[in-house]
Each structure stands twice: as structure tokens, then as C-alpha cells.
Amino acid sequence: MSPITIRAAGPADIAGVLALWRRADAEPTSTDDAQSLRQLMAHDPSALLLAESEGALVGSVVAGWDGWRGSIYRLAVAPPFRRHGVGRRLVGAAEDRLAAAGARRLAAIVVEHDASATAFWDARGWERQTARLRYVRG
């Protein structure tokens, strides 16, 4: 496997990120559109991290910081690059970014019925909280 580089996304990456999410079968949300990604980048230019191999986009993660808690969303890795450490590297970069911002507590949003996703987070040593519900609007 070619070397993987991690970098912050820019506006020119938006179409590629949306295509990656489709290829990775990331569960769609109401914010999977170019306008929402532009808004994220305008608010926090370093929040969306990308993994590249030979110039191709192979993974992404959102590392959001609200000043109180760090949140990790939209971890996605292109199928041919799974189980090669890309997700681990992206989460590590997200954790480093959030720690540097001052986050002492992190939360990851994970699709509960995705066995591969939950196994990934379990293997990373994150605590699975079952006693809390998450409510969303939109």
C-alpha cells in the first residue's frame, strides 16, 4: 500500500468528499451536501481531515470542537483501503487536533447497526455508552 498522508480539507475537496462518502456507504445525513461542507470549512477550516494515497482521497473524518467537548463524525474509508490503518490514522489525527484545541473529553458518533464500525471503535479502546440517548433534528 502506498503511503497515506493526512491533511485538512479545502473547498476544492468538497465534491471528492461527497463521492467518498457514497463509495464508503456512509449512512446519509441531511448535511451531506456541498453547502454544509462549505459552512463547516468556513466555521472551522481544520475540522475536516482527509487521508490521501497517491493523490487520491481514501478517507475522511470530522473533528469538531465546540470549546467544551470534541466530537468525531463521518469517519469514512474507501473500501479498498479498509483494514490497512487508514481509519486508525484519521482518528489519531482527529484526537491530536482536538487535544491541541483543549478538548479533554471526546465523543464519537457511530452507526450502531454497522458491526464493522462498532468493532473499530471497540478495538480503539473507546467506551461504548449504552445508557444515553442521542436526539437530533434535521
Number of separate helices (H) and strands (E) present in the chain = 4, 5
Summarize the confidence of residues 121-131 as an average pLDDT: 87
Question: What pLDDT score does 109 carry?
Answer: 87
End-to-end CA distance of the chain: 39
**99 domain-assigned:** yes
Residue 135 placed within a domain:
no
Note whether residue 132 is domain-resident.
Answer: no
Residue 68 within any structural domain of the chain = yes
Does residue 73 lie within any of the structural domains? Answer: yes
* Residue 129 covered by a domain: no
The pairing of strands 106-108 and 48-53 is unpaired
Q: Classify residue 88: in a domain, yes or no.
A: yes
Task: Report yes or no on 138 lying in a domain.
Answer: no
At residue 119, does pLDDT exceed 90?
no
Predicted confidence band of residue 48 (pLDDT cuts 50, 70, 90): very high
**Mean pLDDT to the nearest integer, 71-97:** 96
Give the per-residue pLDDT at 1: 66
Read off the pLDDT of each residue in 98-110 and give the average, rounded to a whole number. Answer: 93
**pLDDT single digits (tens) 6-15:** 999 999 999 9
The enclosing domain of 69 has a CATH number of: 3.40.630.30
pTM of the model: 0.91
Domain count for the chain, please give it: 1
Question: What strands, in cross-sheet order, belong to the sheet with 48-53?
Answer: 4-8, 48-53, 56-65, 70-77, 106-108
- The alpha carbon of 87 is separated from its chain's Cα centroid by a whole number of angstroms, namely 9
Task: Find the Cα–Cα–Cα–Cα dihedral 44, 56, 59, 42, rounded to 10°.
Answer: 10
Q: Residue 16: which domain range? A: 4-123
